[in-house]
Every structure is written in structure tokens, then in C-alpha cells.
């Protein structure tokens, strides 16, 4: 093959002859051309490969194919395409996304695993044909794997997690959302052998109970992100273990976990001061008492989803306005006890002027145009949701937009029934779902 230059053998460069008349090929060293090609995306590389024989060699060189996302290129990928890519890229490939490629199965990914043993990031989100066999292949051939996305791969079971624990000890991020066959046994095997786990997405893993969370809390001290949305069997007991064992936690989603109480908010406040994102939508047992403890201890909060936390009042907003100066996104939809006074405190708090970007107030029946007046000084406010806020008027929204002309206001106005006319029927206009 001859001496290599930047991963390309001399024999490849010998294909550039005087017969290739393109000026760029004469003026620029082939090593520099290869470097330029390294910045191109998949589509552009494929186009360049069709320009000439010499460009074909450079464009299809494995060193240019270290990061590949086929989602924006072609979604009906067949297994043979993945096999061909893996043979061309070999050890160069570090990152591959096959999300949504429904035609890719275990056989293609076994060939891929054998050829691309330096892969670090692999996205198989929505590749519904794959089974535990794929994880066995990754475990056997890909020890450098750090990020793996298996969301919606519903054939995945505990066997996959056990395989990954044996062969992929460097795993930092795993998404097995909607893999509803996974239980505590799989989680236990995984976390015991992958102590560097930082992000776990377990959304829709409905068989998980507190015992699984206890294993995570005991073995994942580096955990930063945890998503347990709709894992409806978990309770305070398991989540408190997480809080006590994962002090670096920055993002927690337990939306739809209706069994949790203020005990979780107290545990977060006492153990997780770095918390930035908290999603507790539809957790109807949470109250102002819990959010007071949380706000007073977690000053880095940036995003909070409190939709359908039906017991909270203006008291929660007062505490957030005082103690959480970094708040950017706040959802209060269906929090029916919130009033204009709570929004007044929020609008005058330290987060209001430069931080607050989104506030959602859908179905807050006590909110009036006065709230919009209180938000006029929120110069960073980009979007406000006001669906079914029946005391909000068009005039109030218009006044808000004189101060914040670029704000997106989503509002709902019920259809108006016109009064009966003497001269006969009159056309009726529906004003539903107006984007103002």
C-alpha cells in the first residue's frame, strides 16, 4: 500500500495525474484537499465523489466519515447500506446516527460492530427491527461506546443491558425510553458495571419500580440527567435514594409519576443544589411547602414544568421569584389557583428582566390582563401560552405587544355567537385557535 499520509496511502495519491486538468487539483496539495473534504457533510461528500476520479478517492476516504447522520440524508436505509458504510469507514467512524431507519436490523449492525470498533456515539432511536442481538454485538466488538440511543426499540430486554454492562464499561449516556420490557434486573446489571453513567433516559419504562432507582442511586454518583416520565410505579422511596446518591443531578423528569409527594422536593433541595431542570407535570400531590424548600436551596433552576400541579398557589411563584434568578422557562398550565399577584411577583423578580423566555399559563382561570401588564418588563420573553384563559382579552395582548413586539402569544378565543339580525341570517365567524 505504501507510506500513509493522513491516513491515505501514497498509492491513492498516485491516481492524481496530469490528465486531471482541474486547477484546484494542480494548485493544492492532495493532503490539503483531503483536509478540506473533512469539513463536508454526507450529501456534499457524495456529490464531490461524482466530480472526478481523483475527488472520488478523497471524498470516500474513511477519514472523512468519522461522523455520519443519515436522518437528514435518507431515512429508508437498508441494512446493506450500513454494511457498506462500516466497511468503508472502519476504525475511523466515531459517531453514527441511524435514527428512524426502520429497515436496519441485527445482521447489518453485527457487520457494523465488527468493522467500526472505535464507535463512541450510536443512535438507533426508532430502529424497531433490532433486538438483544444488536447489543450483544456492540458488547463484543465496541468497547469504546459512550453514548447509545435505543429509544422505541421495543424488543430490547434486560439481556441487552446485561450485555452492555459486560462489554461497554465506558458508557456515559443511555436512552432506553419506551423499552417497556426492561425491569430492575437489567438496570442493576447495567449500573454496577458502568459507574460513569451520566445520562439515563427511562421514559415509558413502565415496569420500573423503586428497587431499580435504589440501584441507580447506589452506583451512579456521576449521574447528571435522569428521565423517568410516566414510570408510574415509582414512589418517594426510590427517588429519595436517587437524590441522596446523585448529588450532581442537574435534570430530573418525573412527569406523570402521580405517587410522589413534597418529600421529593425536600430531598432535592437538601441533596441536589446543582439542579437546573425539573419536570413534574401531573404530579398533583406537590404543594407550596415542597416548592418553598426547593427554591430556597436550588438557585440554579432554569426550567420548571409544573403543569397540573393543581395544589400550588402564588406562594410557589413568590419563592421562585426571590430565590431562582436564572429561571428561563416556566409552565404553570392548569395550575388553577395561580392569580395575577403571583405573576406580579414573578415579573418583578431577578429572573424577569434578562432571563425569563417562556411562560405557559394555559387554563389558569384567575389570570387576567393585569398579568400581562406585570410581564411587560420581561425583555427576554419570547413566548407566552394563554389558551383558555377566559379573562385575557385581545386588548390586553395588544398592549403587551407594544412593549414586546416580537413575542409569540398563543391564545384561544371561544367562538362568538352573533346576535340575531332582523334582516335574516348573518355569517358567523369562528375565532378559535388564533396565533396573535
Q: Give me the chain's average pLDDT, please.
A: 88
Residues 6+ apart with CB under 8 A from 244: 217, 267, 271
Residue 322 lies in a domain: yes
Q: What is the pLDDT, as a whole number, of residue 89?
A: 85
For 143-161, how does the pLDDT look when each residue is reduced to its tens digit (9 = 90+)? 999 999 999 999 999 999 9
CATH number at residue 369: 3.80.10.10
Please write the tens of the pLDDT for every residue from 325-347: 999 999 999 999 999 999 999 99
Number of domains, the chain? 2
First-to-last alpha carbon distance for the chain, in angstroms, is 66
Supply the pLDDT for residue 13.
Answer: 47
Structural contact between residues 367 and 339, judged by C-beta atoms closer than 8 angstroms: yes
Give the model's confidence band at 16: pLDDT under 50 very low, under 70 low, under 90 confident, else very high. very low
Q: At residue 7, does pLDDT exceed 50?
A: no
Determine the pLDDT at residue 68: 81
Q: Is residue 419 predicted with pLDDT exceeding 50?
A: no
Residue 276, in any domain of the structure: yes
Nearest one of 317, 311, 257 to 283, comparing CA atoms = 257
Domain end, chosen from 64, 96, 115, is at 64
Q: How far apart are CA 238 and CA 211, in angstroms?
A: 7
Q: CA torsion, points 204, 102, 136, 182, in degrees to nearest 10?
A: 10
* Tens digit of each residue's pLDDT (9 = 90 or more) over 174-227: 999 999 999 999 999 999 999 999 999 999 999 999 999 999 999 999 999 999
CA distance 382 to 403: 12
% of the chain with per-residue pLDDT over 90: 72
Name which of 115, 118, 104 is nearest 70 in CA terms: 104
Q: Is beta strand 434-435 parallel, antiparallel or unpaired with respect to 408-411?
A: antiparallel
Residues 6+ apart with CB under 8 A from 427: none
Per-residue cell: 371? 398579568
Residue 416, pLDDT > 60, answer no
Nearest residue to 372 via CA among 345, 358, 392, 387? 392
How far apart CA 139 and CA 98 sit, in angstroms, is: 18
Residue where one domain finishes, among candidates 64, 88, 112: 64
Task: Please state, as a whole number, how many other Cβ atoms lie within 10 Å of the Cβ of residue 199.
Answer: 18
User: Over the stretch 64-111, which tens digit does the pLDDT of each residue have?
Assistant: 677 787 765 555 678 888 998 898 888 989 999 999 999 999 999 999
pTM to 2 decimal places: 0.85
| pLDDT (tens digit per residue) in 225-263 | 999 999 999 999 999 999 999 999 999 999 999 999 999
Q: Grid cell 457487520 — which residue?
A: 111
DSSP 246-266: -TT--EEE-TT-TT--HHHHH
Inside any domain, residue 288: yes
Whose CA is closest to 297, among 261, 326, 268? 268
Q: What domain range is 49 assigned to?
A: 24-64
257 in a structural domain: no
Whether 338 is covered by a domain: the verdict is: yes
Query: 282-306, pLDDT tens digit by residue?
Result: 999 999 999 999 999 999 999 999 9
Is residue 436's pLDDT more than 70? Answer: no
140, part of any domain: no
Question: Is the pLDDT at 24 greater than 70, yes or no?
Answer: no
Q: Which domain CATH number covers 34?
A: 1.20.1280
Q: Among 64, 82, 117, where does a domain finish?
A: 64
Residue 403, in any domain of the structure? yes
Using CA atoms, how far apart are residues 145 and 56, in angstroms rounded to an integer?
Answer: 30
Q: In the prediction, which pLDDT does 345 show?
A: 97
Residue 399, pLDDT above cutoff 60: yes
Residue 230 domain-assigned (yes or no): no
Q: Which residues contact 17 (CB under 8 A, 6 or more apart)?
A: none
- Rounded to the nearest 10 degrees, the angle between the axes of helix 262-271 and helix 236-245 is 10
Amino acid at each position: 500500500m505504501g507510506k500513509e499520509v493522513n491516513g491515505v496511502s501514497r498509492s491513492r495519491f498516485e491516481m492524481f495525474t496530469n490528465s486531471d486538468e482541474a486547477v484546484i487539483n494542480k494548485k493544492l496539495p492532495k493532503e490539503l484537499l483531503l483536509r478540506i473534504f473533512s469539513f463536508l457533510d454526507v450529501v456534499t461528500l457524495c456529490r464531490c465523489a461524482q466530480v472526478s476520479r481523483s475527488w472520488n478517492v478523497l471524498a470516500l476516504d474513511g477519514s472523512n466519515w468519522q461522523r455520519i447522520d443519515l436522518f437528514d440524508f435518507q431515512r429508508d436505509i437498508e441494512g446493506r447500506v450500513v454494511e457498506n458504510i462500516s466497511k468503508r469507514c472502519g476504525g475511523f467512524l466515531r459517531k453514527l446516527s441511524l435514527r428512524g431507519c426502520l429497515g436496519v436490523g441485527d445482521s447489518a449492525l453485527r457487520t457494523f460492530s465488527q468493522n467500526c470498533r472505535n464507535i463512541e456515539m450510536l443512535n438507533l432511536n426508532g430502529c424497531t427491527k433490532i433486538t438483544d442481538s444488536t447489543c450483544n454485538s456492540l458488547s463484543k466488538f465496541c468497547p469504546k461506546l459512550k453514548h447509545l440511543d435505543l429509544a422505541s426499540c421495543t424488543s430490547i430486554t434486560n439481556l441487552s443491558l446485561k450485555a452492555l454492562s459486560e462489554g461497554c464499561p465506558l458508557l456515559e449516556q443511555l436512552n432506553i425510553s419506551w423499552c417497556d420490557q426492561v425491569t430492575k434486573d437489567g438496570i442493576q446489571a447495567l449500573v454496577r458495571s458502568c459507574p460513569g453513567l451520566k445520562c439515563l433516559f427511562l421514559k415509558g419504562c413502565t415496569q420500573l419500580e423503586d428497587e431499580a432507582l435504589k440501584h441507580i442511586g447506589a452506583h451512579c454518583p456521576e449521574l447528571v440527567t435522569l428521565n423517568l416520565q410516566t414510570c408510574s410505579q415509582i414512589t418517594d422511596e426510590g427517588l429519595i435514594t436517587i437524590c441522596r446518591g446523585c448529588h450532581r443531578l442537574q435534570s430530573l423528569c418525573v412527569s406523570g409519576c402521580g405517587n410522589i409527594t413534597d418529600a421529593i422536593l425536600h430531598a432535592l433541595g437538601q441533596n441536589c443544589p446543582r439542579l437546573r431542570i425539573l419536570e413534574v407535570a401531573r404530579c398533583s400531590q406537590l404543594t407550596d411547602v415542597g416548592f418553598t424548600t426547593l427554591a430556597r436551596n436550588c438557585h440554579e433552576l432554569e426550567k420548571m414544568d409544573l403543569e397540573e400541579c393543581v395544589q400550588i398557589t402564588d406562594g410557589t411563584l413568590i419563592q421562585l421569584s426571590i430565590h431562582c434568578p436564572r429561571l428561563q422557562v416556566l409552565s404553570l398550565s392548569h395550575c388553577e389557583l395561580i392569580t395575577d399577584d403571583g405573576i406580579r411577583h414573578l415579573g418583578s423578580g431577578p429572573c424577569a428582566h434578562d432571563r425569563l423566555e417562556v411562560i405557559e399559563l394555559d387554563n389558569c382561570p384567575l389570570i387576567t390582563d393585569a398579568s400581562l401588564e406585570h410581564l411587560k418588563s420581561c425583555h427576554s420573553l419570547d413566548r407566552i401560552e394563554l389558551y383558555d384563559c377566559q379573562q385575557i382579552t385581545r386588548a390586553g395582548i395588544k398592549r403587551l405587544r407594544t412593549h414586546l413586539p416580537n413575542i409569540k402569544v398563543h391564545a384561544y378565543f371561544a367562538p362568538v355567537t352573533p346576535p340575531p339580525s332582523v334582516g335574516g341570517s348573518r355569517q358567523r365567524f369562528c375565532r378559535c385557535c388564533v396565533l396573535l
